[in-house]
């Protein structure tokens, strides 16, 4: 496991107790709800939630959906387990950069507020594409920058990285470079944008 992932694992051991009090807010919840409305998950689809954390996505996922949730933090998964009661949701401690699933296993992959946290977001995207079915979709919640990074954003990213490991200076275009994916939808949000990717 990389140094950053080890550091994040330690950080989220503490943050798991306060995470819902900071990220469980109107703006993020509104974005999550909107994202899953747009995704239109069908009863026969298999869904992978990468970085499910404490399970804040769970209330917005249709109850009939078959969901696999992974996270690097045991403590975060313990909180998610409480939200997954009586749901068809399986939770696993797993590194997003090394998914233990067969190729083309999922109809839909959700990456909410996770690409900015993992040590190697490029490898994460390649793993996500590997386990995605050819007709599948990727839904992302996050903030990315495709232009020159200003000094204010650099400082803000330094702070968020120190606290929770979040890098705010990522380019989604760079993360998907070389992958046969196209951005089919983008909806700008206050704290996070909703982005839909699908195979070419």
41: left (phi over 0), alpha (psi -120 to 50) or beta: beta
Query: In the numeric block, which tokens belong to residue 129?
Result: 């594409």
- Cα–Cα distance measured from residue 30 to residue 86, given in angstroms and rounded to the nearest whole number: 24
Residue 120 DSSP one-character state: -
Q: Is residue 165, in this structure, part of any structural domain at all? A: no
Query: In the numeric block, which tokens belong to residue 128?
Result: 């996500």
Q: Is residue 44, in this structure, part of any structural domain at all? A: yes
Number of domains making up the chain:
1
Q: Which residue has the tokens 């998950």?
A: 41
Q: Is residue 151, in this structure, part of any structural domain at all? A: no
pLDDT at 166 (0 to 100): 62
Q: Residue 14: which CATH number?
A: 3.40.50.150
Predicted TM-score (pTM) above 0.75: yes
pLDDT at 23 (0 to 100): 79
pLDDT at 64 (0 to 100): 95
For 124-170, the pLDDT digits (tens) are 999 999 999 999 999 999 999 876 666 555 545 444 444 444 676 79
pLDDT at 169 (0 to 100): 78
Domain range for 133: 3-143+170-199
Q: Are 173 and 115 in contact (CB under 8 A)?
A: no
CA neighbours closer than 13 Å in the CB half-sphere of residue 136 = 23
The secondary structure of 29-87 as a DSSP string is: HHHHHHHHHHHT--TT-EEEEET-TT-TTGGGS-TT-EEEEEES-HHHHHHHHHHTTTS
Helix (H, G, I), strand (E, B) or coil at 46: strand
Q: Which residue has the tokens 């760079």?
A: 174
- Cα–Cα distance measured from residue 190 to residue 143, given in angstroms and rounded to the nearest whole number: 9
For 35-80, the pLDDT digits (tens) are 999 999 999 999 999 999 999 999 999 999 999 999 999 999 999 9
Q: Can you tell me the mean pLDDT for 174-186?
A: 96
Query: In the numeric block, which tokens belong to residue 190?
Result: 């206050």
For 90-133, the pLDDT digits (tens) are 999 999 999 999 999 999 999 999 999 899 999 999 999 999 99
For 10-44, the pLDDT digits (tens) are 655 555 556 666 777 888 999 999 999 999 999 99
Query: In the numeric block, which tokens belong to residue 185?
Result: 């939808």
Is the pLDDT higher at 152 or at 195? 195
Which among 130, 111, 129, 127 has a CA at the least distance from the CA of 170?
111
Q: Is residue 27, in this structure, part of any structural domain at all? A: yes
Q: Is residue 177, in this structure, part of any structural domain at all? A: yes
Q: Which residues contact 111 (CB under 8 A, 6 or more apart)?
A: 50, 51, 124, 128, 138, 139, 140, 141, 142
Q: Can you tell me the mean pLDDT for 186-200?
A: 94
Q: Residues 93, 99, 104, 108: is their CA dihedral positive or negative?
A: positive
Q: Is residue 149, in this structure, part of any structural domain at all? A: no
pLDDT at 155 (0 to 100): 43
Q: Is residue 67, in this structure, part of any structural domain at all? A: yes
Q: Is residue 159, in this structure, part of any structural domain at all? A: no
């Amino acid at each position: 496991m990389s140094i950053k992932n080890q550091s994040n694992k330690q950080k989220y051991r503490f943050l798991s107790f306060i995470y819902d009090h900071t990220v469980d807010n109107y703006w993020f919840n509104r974005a999550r709800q909107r994202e899953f409305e747009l995704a239109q998950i069908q009863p026969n689809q298999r869904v992978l939630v990468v970085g499910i954390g404490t399970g804040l996505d769970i209330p917005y996922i249709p109850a009939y959906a078959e969901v696999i949730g992974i996270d690097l933090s045991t403590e975060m998964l313990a909180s998610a387990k409480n939200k997954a009661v009586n749901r068809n949701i399986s939770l696993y401690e797993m590194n997003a950069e090394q998914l233990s699933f067969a190729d083309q296993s999922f109809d839909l992959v959700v990456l909410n507020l996770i690409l900015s946290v993992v040590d190697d977001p490029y490898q994460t995207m390649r793993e996500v594409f590997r386990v995605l079915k050819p007709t599948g979709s990727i839904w992302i919640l996050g903030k990315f920058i495709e232009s020159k990074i200003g000094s204010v954003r650099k400082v803000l990213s330094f702070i968020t990285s120190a606290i929770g490991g979040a890098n705010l200076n990522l380019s989604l275009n760079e993360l998907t470079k070389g992958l046969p994916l196209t951005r089919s939808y983008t909806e700008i949000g206050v704290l996070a944008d909703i982005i839909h990717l699908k195979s070419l």
